[in-house]
Structure 1
Amino acid sequence: MPSVSSVTVSESNGLTFLDVSNAFASARISLFGGHILSFIPNSDGKERLWVSPHAYLNGERPIRGGIPVCWPWFSDDHGREKGALPAHGFLRTQVWKLINSAETENSTTITLSPSFTRAEGFENDCSVTMIIAVGKTMEVSLITENTGVAPIEFNCALHTYFHVDDIQNTQINGIEGQYKDKLDDWGLKETPHPYTITGETDRIHLVPVKTAEIEVDGTIYTEVISKGNDSLVVWNPWQSAASISDMDPFGYKHMLCVETSLTQGKTLAPGESFALEQIIVPR
């Protein structure tokens, strides 16, 4: 059970949720998937994350929206045929454990770990910990430690779905360089300027972007700070949302994925640890 007054526990449809409410913000975290579902700063009362109204919130499938945890591979980059192993790894479909909760004058901190880190496709000795700090910002750290005697290699991502009022009036600032276009045979292309979303988009930006801004109706709405990443993924299904069973056909109008990602492979020596971090800054 949480040891601090700013965290309460609730249950629904067999899932356990941690609800955070402090002087700065509120947040909701599902222990299924170690999945952050909501972050609402008290400064403006506006939700920064998007969860599909058709998301499975019963443990049957990964949750669509919020911040899914991708580990130890991204997408279907697991070395086998597509579909042979779960997309984005196996952490987002297991129940995580609450390791610790704590309060400071600036935030409430939740520490979680998955039930297991060895499964088909990744049979290495390691530990994974996620630390979530809810304050004026939301800071999420996904920490991998090699606890074995041999090097390990992995990828990971914080696959964040941001809420936007209208995707057609949304612009992303701060991304430069080339990206791989998944929708065009992984072709290399240059980042557009201005960076607007005008159709189905699935891009892996191959530079370690540290700060990106989501601008809505000409105003900076959310700043996304990334640490430890080697890439940044931008995704919106556009009208293909109609073919996704747990999305509303028009849900794409109100969401934009900007994902702090490690997609080019990270090797950890025995005893070494690595943190992938994303900080969501309301503006």
Structure 2
Amino acid sequence: MNDQSYQIEEKDGNRFVTVSNASASCRISLFGGHVLSFIPSHDNRDRLWVSPVAVLNGERPIRGGIPLCWPWFSDAHGKAKGELPSHGFLRTQMWNISEFNCDGTTSEMVLTPATTKGPGFSYACTVKLRLKIASKLTVSLETTSFEEQQAFTVNCALHTYFDVNNIADVTLEGLSGNYKDKLEDWAVKPAPTPYTFNGETDRIHQEAPQTLTIVARQSPYITIKSAGHDSIVVWNPWQSAASMSDMDAFGYKQMLCVETAVTNGTTLNPGDVHTLTQVIA
């Protein structure tokens, strides 16, 4: 392992990893296996948003960056709401660096969680978070079922918070078809044209394209490529941000979540591998 191309900082009971190369820099919290920042060298603009009042000491999931949702998404775990943690348990445990390589312009890191078993999920499998840090950031959440394990189903998501400077100036390009609106009891509605934002948004698009673009004034265009998904989730809390203790009341103006997700379940048979990938440029 070449450990000369990243640095580890210990603070408030958490460990933070900074990876730097000629192409970009990336900051990762080992609590949650959570990418906090990705800054390409060609424009020095962070693609990710983290709440200025996010809790980073491991007491609760981090608001912003790229939270990992697994083995379920939201409260879709077959239990009563609140009985098990929303979005699963990967985002609330410490992760370890298991592999690292860097050639000067591209860094590759593999992180593994302390455990893949928890309340509501006892299947034998491994999970790896693979990061490729170059002029683009590639994030892959890889689930591998053991050969002796019976088939099981997971939902998962890369719950990415993008920095958009001003949500009122944002257009999301590449989404069409219908979506399910969580705010209106999952009513099915057509995607807006153009896809702009003027209020609280919580939508699951199941016509899931491979490429999307966030177009925003005074910010670089952000291109998002997805693979291994069946859904794109679009979320902005708008006025509901005021009720969140880890988000400023007006923090919604600077962020937009565009999430690469599996919300209909993917079944892994013995020895199967599923990889959920998001590429950010």
Give the TM bin, normalised by the shorter chain.
Answer: over 0.9
Of all paired residues, the percent bearing the same amino acid is 52
Q: 1:181-239: per-residue Cα shift (whole Å, max 9, x none)?
A: 00000111111110001100000001222100000029761000000110000000001
Do 2:165 and 2:218's aligned partners in 1 also have CA atoms closer than 8 Å? no
Structure 2: gaps of 5 or more residues = none
Which residue of structure 1 lines up, in the alignment, with residue 47 of structure 2?
48
CA contact (8 A) 1:109 1:133 kept: yes
| 1:99-248 mapped onto 2 (5 Å cutoff) | 99-104=98-103, 106-147=105-146, 148-217=148-217, 221-248=221-248
The alignment covers a number of residue pairs equal to 280
Give the superposition deviation at 1:3: 2.3
Matching residue of 1:72: 71
Distance 1:219 1:244, change over 3 A: closer
User: Aligned residue for 2:266?
Assistant: 266
Deviations 1:52-83 (A, max 9, x none): 01100111000000000000000000001111
Instruction: Specify the alignment match of 2:16 in structure 1.
Output: 17
Contact 2:21 2:105 in 1 (8 A): no
Give the direction of change, closer, same or farther, for the CA distance of 1:95–1:219 in structure 2 (3 Å limit): closer
Q: Which moved more, 1:159-168 or 1:106-115?
A: 106-115
The AA in structure 2 aligned to 1:170 is V
The alignment partner of 2:91 has SS state of coil
Q: Which moved more, 1:122-131 or 1:104-113?
A: 104-113
| C-alpha distance in structure 2 between counterparts of 1:39 and 1:60, whole Å | 24
> How far did 1:177 drift?
1.2
CA distance in 2, matches of 1:218, 1:143: 35
Q: Does 1:98 align with 2:60?
A: no
In structure 1, list runs of 5 or more residues that go unmatched. none
Which SS does the other structure have where 1:29 is aligned? strand
Contact 1:181 1:203 in 2 (8 A): yes
RMSD: 1.2
Deviation at 1:178, TM superposition (A): 1.1
Equivalent-residue separation in structure 2 for 1:165 and 1:9 (angstroms): 29
Summarize the Cα distance change of 1:40–1:56 in structure 2 as closer, same or farther, 3 Å threshold: same
